[in-house]
Structure 1
Amino acid sequence: MSLNFFTLLQLPETFIIDLKKLDQNYQNLQKEIHPDRFASLADEEKIASIKKAAQVNDAYQTLKSPIRRAEYLLHLHGINIHDEKYTAVPQDFLMQQMEWREELETHKQNKEALEKLANDIQKNKSEMLNQLPEYFESKNNLNSAIKVTRELNFIEKIEQHINDALIEII
């Protein structure tokens, strides 16, 4: 069984984490377990070192991203937000998402319009991210955390589509 990412990186199991401490703990762990330090040892020890380094990297990337961190916290509560039972999205968010996609398609070749859309979506994303700490602190509000985390996943996808469209323009 793999070690809890928060435990691995010596952080409290909360949504709000100290990112500087995350970076510092990650760097310290990487120095300890870097595969180059085990180059002269037996193959088993090298493989173990590589696996540990991969686990530390995975933990770091997960905890560094607020959306991945929210997903992981939900996972620790036994919730997989990609499970079928959590796929329902509120009607108003569905409509918002359709509007964003329509706007993206309409302005695919317009850099300024795409940047404005990206800004609008970023504001929306920030507001949603600001709600998550409260939902996780009061553990009885995990349904709201699930809803917001799923919506943030959708937002992340449309942001990627906008970035792709901006790259196409350049």
Structure 2
Amino acid sequence: MTYFNANLIWRFCKWHNKCRNTKSISSLVGSIPSLFGKNVYVSHVLYTSEATNSNKPSSSWKDSKTLNYFALLDIPEKFNIDKQQLYKNFQSKMRENHPDKYSTPSHTKQQYNDAVFISSQLNRAKQVLESPLWRAQHLVMIRKHQQSSSERQSHDEDILTEETKITDQNFLFEIMDTRLQVEDYGSKNDVAKLDQLLQENSQRMEHIISLIQKEFDQTKPHLFTIKELLAKLTYFDRIEAEIKEQLPAR
């Protein structure tokens, strides 16, 4: 049996709050619909752990608009995507909308500014869709928006809240134990042990991703279940980042 003292638990709680601290991606306003077309919009706020502190989540997901990145890159709206098609479509659209193409005297400043904005959103779309974690978050928001009020299950109503609470104590202690091992092996520069932790963590992530895929494959995905899986995947994603920070550059 593993025992944890109060100081270790306090340190874990500080790290735990980092994983729960989610921020919204910037809302799109003004004349943006004319740039992309109305079909690429979905009313929601996309929460990620990587967004800036300057943009706080809306109190209601219905209050904000962000792009539907699947539609923007002409990718089928599903969790299991063809990444080769994703990159192919991204490159094609970037060539078409690259700011350099509109920097000549024959183009207006507005055309150039539009190209800058579009290219930034294309880059963001690729970044979100190539990440299983962010792609799943994005797809959950879209699925939630597509449901009618009568279809929404009562226990799914908090799917878009700012914080996701995990009540599985065994899981939380497993995360704490792994987190402390990362600190320990990192302080000792034990690359072999860190590599082993990275491999084990990757296996856990793949397992969670497979469960998310299975849930999305259902005719009516259970959003609350996906939310819980995403919360766990967020922890593993953070652990992966911390392990890589401890490893030497390769």
Equivalent position to 1:154, from 232, 235, 239: 235
Paired residues in the alignment total 167
Normalising by structure 1, we get a TM-score of 0.90
Residue aligning to 2:61:
none
Please tell me whether Structure 1 or Structure 2 has the larger radius of gyration of its CA atoms. 2
Task: Name the residue aligned to 2:207.
Answer: 127
Alignment of 1:30-49 (within 5 A): 30-40=94-104, 41-49=107-115
Kindly, what percent of the aligned residue pairs are identical? Answer: 27
Match of 1:22 in 2: 86
In structure 2, what is the Cα distance between the partners aligned to 1:4 and 1:14?
12
TM-score w.r.t. length of structure 2:
0.63
Partner Cα separation in structure 2 for residue 113 and residue 54 of structure 1: 39
Q: Please name the residue that 1:95 is paired with.
A: 173
Query: Is contact 1:62–1:69 with CA below 8 Å preserved after alignment?
Result: yes
- Quote the offset at 1:70 in angstroms: 0.5
Residues 30/13 of structure 1: CA separation in 2 closer, same or farther (3 Å cut)? same
Structure 2 unmatched runs, 5+: 1-64, 146-158
Structure 2 residue 186 is the aligned partner of structure 1 residue 104? no
Offset at residue 90 of structure 1 (A): 2.0
Q: Deviations over 1:10-46 (max 9, x none)?
A: 1111001111110111111011101111112111111
Contact between 1:89 and 1:147, CA under 8 Å: does it hold in 2?
Answer: no
User: Counterpart of 2:162?
Assistant: 83
Q: CA deviation at 1:126?
A: 0.9
In 2, distance between residues paired with 1:71 and 1:105? Answer: 29
Using the alignment, how far apart are the partners of 1:61 and 1:74 within structure 2?
A: 17
RMSD (CA atoms)? 1.8
Residue identity matched to 2:162: D
Given that 2:166 and 2:231 are in contact with CA atoms closer than 8 Å, whether structure 1 keeps it comes out as: no
Give, in angstroms, the shift of residue 105 of structure 1.
2.2
Q: Which has the higher contact order (CA 8 A, sep 6+)?
A: 1
